[in-house]
């Protein structure tokens, strides 16, 4: 007898991975208890859109706090304007710093110094520049729309049962004076980069951990029964502002985010983790779930991740009936970071 004798097969590499076809992996996580009536909200990097989309398809009470107006021709066009992408129209929330700053701004505890950017005579929300392809006619219009948006965010946090947050990046650009971190560097989507005003920051483990711990405490202060499900995006960085090769920079960011997620789950009741990062990126997958660019996850990979997500009690609760479910249509992801390739 030894301490490993009673461990299940999933605890052994040979039994859990080495002698199992990758498509037959089992017990990758301990599914959370979730009912169709639980109100679920999502935020984070691009990959978070898949979780929200699949939950909605399976009849979950997915929160859409800023539904699209009827003016759009179809859902795809509405998504390009930031509607239906996440539970609120905040665009990509790539970093922990963006998340905690959004929460505090929504609750009136901070006001960004530089919240409106200009491009070709049009004005954009600096905290979500990618949600408006053409911009507004004046800074005042941007500000008014942001106040309406923040009211929806505040309501979302107060009413959700489960907050799904996909951690994506540690790198970001922030305002030197008030520390506001933007989803994109000034000048990439809108605005103008000024080295006297903007500075690059690559968040370290302690900073990400402090952000997420503060966010959890703040969320529980306004919603005592809230739970949080963390994931780490398997999508590599599109580009890095460090001196490292982008592959090395990606390894750093994902390692920090994964370590923080693990410690949050270990320390906080009500916080869980789903291993989408491991399922897609671990070396036994041999990169088969990525597109030829080795960055974007294929629909085949997304479907495989979702087969693990909807397992155990989740499979029972969100069963789609006896008929074989229709294959999911490939979702056009809305990703600000992809603009760096251009």
Q: What percent of the chain has pLDDT over 70?
A: 96
pLDDT digits (tens, 9 = 90+) for 188-199: 989 999 999 999
Beta strands at 198-202 and 39-44: parallel, antiparallel or unpaired: unpaired
pLDDT digits (tens, 9 = 90+) for 205-220: 999 999 999 999 999 9
| CA 327, 328, 332, 333 torsion-angle sign | negative
Residue 342 has a pLDDT of 65
Residue 334 has pLDDT above 90, yes or no: no
Residue 212 has a pLDDT of 98
According to DSSP, residue 205 is labeled: H
In a 3-state reduction of DSSP, which class is residue 272? strand
Backbone angles phi, psi at 167, to 5 degrees: -80, 125
**DSSP bridge pairs for 43:** 165
pLDDT digits (tens, 9 = 90+) for 157-201: 999 999 999 999 999 999 999 999 999 999 998 999 999 999 999
The whole-number average pLDDT for the span 263-281 is 97
Between the CA of residue 112 and those of 74, 100, 131, what are the distances in Å? 34, 13, 18
In a 3-state reduction of DSSP, which class is residue 167? strand
First CA to last CA across the chain, in angstroms?
59
Residue 154 has a pLDDT of 98
**DSSP bridge pairs for 165:** 43, 230
Residue 332 has a pLDDT of 73
- Check: CB of residue 258 under 8 Å from CB of residue 277: yes
CA–CA–CA angle 209, 265, 26 (5° rounding)? 130
Average pLDDT over the chain, rounded to an integer: 93
Of 95, 111, 194, nearest in space to 147 by CA = 111
Confidence of residue 71 (pLDDT cuts 50, 70, 90): confident
Helix (H) or strand (E) holding 315: helix 313-317
Confidence of residue 322 (pLDDT cuts 50, 70, 90): very low
- In sequence order, the 6+-apart residues with CB closer than 8 A to the CB of 157 are 41, 103, 106, 163, 219, 222, 223, 226
Residue 47 has a pLDDT of 83
The whole-number average pLDDT for the span 33-42 is 96
Residue 328 has a pLDDT of 55
Residue 321 has a pLDDT of 57
Q: What percent of the chain has pLDDT over 90?
A: 85
Token pair 């004076």 in the structure block, residue:
177
The whole-number average pLDDT for the span 58-72 is 93
Residue 305 has pLDDT above 90, yes or no: yes
pTM here is 0.94
Between the CA of residue 123 and those of 98, 102, 119, 148, 172, what are the distances in Å? 21, 20, 6, 17, 22
């Amino acid at each position: 007898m030894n301490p490993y004798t009673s461990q299940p097969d999933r605890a052994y590499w040979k039994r859990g991975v080495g002698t199992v076809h990758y498509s037959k992996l089992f017990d990758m996580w301990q599914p959370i208890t979730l009912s169709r009536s639980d109100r679920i909200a999502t935020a984070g990097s691009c990959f978070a859109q898949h979780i929200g989309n699949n939950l909605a398809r399976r009849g979950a009470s997915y929160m859409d706090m800023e539904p699209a107006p009827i003016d759009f021709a179809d859902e795809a066009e509405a998504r390009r304007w930031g509607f239906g992408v996440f539970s609120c129209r905040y665009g990509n929330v790539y970093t922990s710093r963006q998340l905690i700053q959004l929460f505090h701004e929504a609750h009136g505890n901070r006001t960004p110094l530089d919240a409106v950017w200009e491009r070709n005579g049009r004005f954009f929300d600096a905290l979500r520049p990618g949600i408006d392809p053409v911009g507004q006619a004046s800074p005042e219009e941007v500000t008014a729309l942001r106040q309406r948006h923040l009211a929806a965010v505040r309501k979302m946090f107060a009413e959700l049962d489960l907050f799904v947050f996909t951690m994506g990046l540690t790198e970001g650009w922030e305002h030197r004076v008030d520390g506001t971190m933007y989803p994109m560097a000034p000048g990439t989507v809108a605005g103008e980069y000024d080295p006297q005003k903007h500075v690059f920051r690559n968040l370290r483990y302690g900073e990400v951990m402090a952000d997420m711990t503060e966010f959890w405490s703040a969320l529980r202060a306004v919603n005592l029964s809230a739970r949080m499900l963390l994931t780490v995006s398997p999508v590599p960085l599109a580009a890095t502002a460090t001196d490292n090769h982008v592959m090395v920079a990606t390894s750093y960011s994902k390692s920090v985010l994964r370590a923080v997620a693990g410690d949050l789950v270990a320390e906080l009741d009500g916080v869980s983790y789903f291993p989408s990062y491991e399922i897609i990126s671990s070396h036994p997958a041999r990169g088969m779930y990525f597109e030829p660019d080795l960055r974007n996850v294929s629909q085949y990979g997304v479907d495989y991740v979702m087969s693990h997500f909807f397992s155990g009690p989740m499979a029972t609760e969100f069963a789609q009936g006896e008929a074989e479910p229709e294959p999911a249509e490939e979702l056009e992801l809305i990703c600000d970071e992809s603009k760096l390739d251009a």
